[in-house]
Amino acid sequence: MKIWFKLYLFSIILFSLIFWITVFVIIETFHNNTLTQQVTNSLNEHQNIYNGINMDIPAYEKLQRYSRDTLSSTQTLVSSFNVYASNYNSDNFYLELYNDKQEVIFSNTNFIDNISREDLNNLKPNTRQYIIKDIGDRSYIFISSILKFSDDNYYFSYIYDLTNIYDERSEQYNFTLKLYLCFLVVFMFLMFIISNFLTKPLSKLTQATIKITKGKYSERVSVRSGDEIGILADNFNHMADEISTKIDKLQEQNNEKQRFIENLTHELRTPLTSIIGYADYLQRSKYDEKVFYEGLEYIHKEGQRLQQLSFKLMDLLLIKKDSFEFQKYGIKDICSQSIGTLRPKILEKSIDIKLIGDDFECYMEQDLMQVFFINFIENAIRASYEDSRIIISIDSNNQQVTITDYGIGMDQENIDKIFEPFYMIDKSRTRLENGAGLGLALCTKIAEFHHIKIDVMSELNKGTSIVLTFTKDQGGNQDA
């Protein structure tokens, strides 16, 4: 069941409940007030007749004592009741008189035959009892009391027809039912429009989710509203943005993994092909010391490349798993040690390398940080011309280290890819120096651990600057 229909149905049920509860309370209150008023009037009428007859009884008793021609007590009361019945002259008004054996001696009714009269049971002098009783399709009030005349007890009943009061209530309910049906038709029409209007944004959200599940991650919901549905739509769009971003990242990571596998396969195939090829050649060739020496030299170099590749891969794997201990060290000392490690390569190209600036300290894992700087400085050496220079500048105020070379440089396309595993700008030169294209990929992992931001600025044939910014106040992860 759709939510608009639930809202529609719930509104109709709620409207009906409120309408009929209100109608019931109003009609029943009015009916009860009218009925109470009529009961009070009937009690007053009964009391008036009762008092009138009681006032006449002493005179009748006196006449009976002094006159022989007077009527009997029963005849006298019947005569009095006839007078009262004719004076009131109402279709709704009735009188009855019973003797002490509850036998009818006067009645102007034509509907009381063999019915139980609870109002006459246990009736005592100077009291009265009344009941409201349904006879057929009509309702009556019976008010009874005892009249005492010449030491005889008579039962006096006043009867009033209340049917019109109950009929009026039924008519009110019938009229209200017709009014309700008219209101209900109008209300249902309005609620159909309103419920669809209110839930239309939810329908849009539903359609959007269906499209997203089918792969249309660019789908968004346009709902301009300041209520909860509008907030929900905004959150949905935000969630969709996040999902789209995550999917793009996952796709990018998947592409990177695919390139990694392809590059790894290629990098493994190349030296293995050379090793197998030279080994097969040496097996099939006659012994020649020069040929054997050259073949073994190639096999040795390709073996070194495989060894270097395996070391770099192990570094990439271990840096994801190991838990490192961070301590405070000076950046200048780390740079000096890295330069010392690379001194043979620096001398080989007669490069003038300078370390300038004021030192600053930060928390780091010393071995990782040394690998970090060695890779960047070694790349600067590879990119530099002979008799060139490299400047390592330390900015303690901004906690930055800038490594600048004046070598071959690179274009923007290469800048965007240099941190990908196995990516090499000059593959022939890199392989000649036993490079695997994993150094900068390793550096990005180390930078993540130490919260270091890496910026690369380069211009083709003019050189490259690597700016390393320690973004935490004190460098690396202090809680490690």
- Compute and round to an integer the Cα radius of gyration of the chain: 56
**pLDDT on residue 68:** 58
Q: Write the burial class of residue 469 (CB in 10 Å: 0-12 exposed, 13-18 middle, 19+ buried).
A: middle
**pLDDT on residue 430:** 45
Considering the entire predicted model, what is its pTM?
Answer: 0.49
Question: For 401-425, what is each residue's pLDDT tens digit?
Answer: 999 999 988 888 778 777 776 665 5
**pLDDT on residue 288:** 75
Per-residue pLDDT tens digits of the chain, which is 480 residues long: 677 788 888 889 999 999 999 999 999 999 999 999 999 999 999 999 888 888 877 777 776 666 655 667 788 888 888 888 777 666 788 898 888 888 888 888 877 666 777 888 888 888 899 999 888 888 999 999 998 887 788 899 999 999 999 999 999 999 999 999 999 999 999 988 888 887 777 777 777 778 777 777 677 777 666 676 777 777 777 887 888 888 888 888 787 677 666 656 655 665 677 678 778 877 777 777 777 787 788 788 777 767 765 666 666 555 554 556 788 999 999 999 888 888 888 988 999 999 999 999 988 888 778 888 988 898 899 889 999 999 999 999 999 999 999 998 888 877 877 777 666 555 444 444 444 456 677 788 888 878 899 999 998 888 999 999 998 654 554 443
**pLDDT on residue 435:** 46
Cα–Cα nearest to 241, from 225, 221, 218: 218
CB atoms within 10 A of CB 221: 19
Question: For 434-461, what is each residue's pLDDT tens digit?
Answer: 444 566 777 888 888 788 999 999 988 8
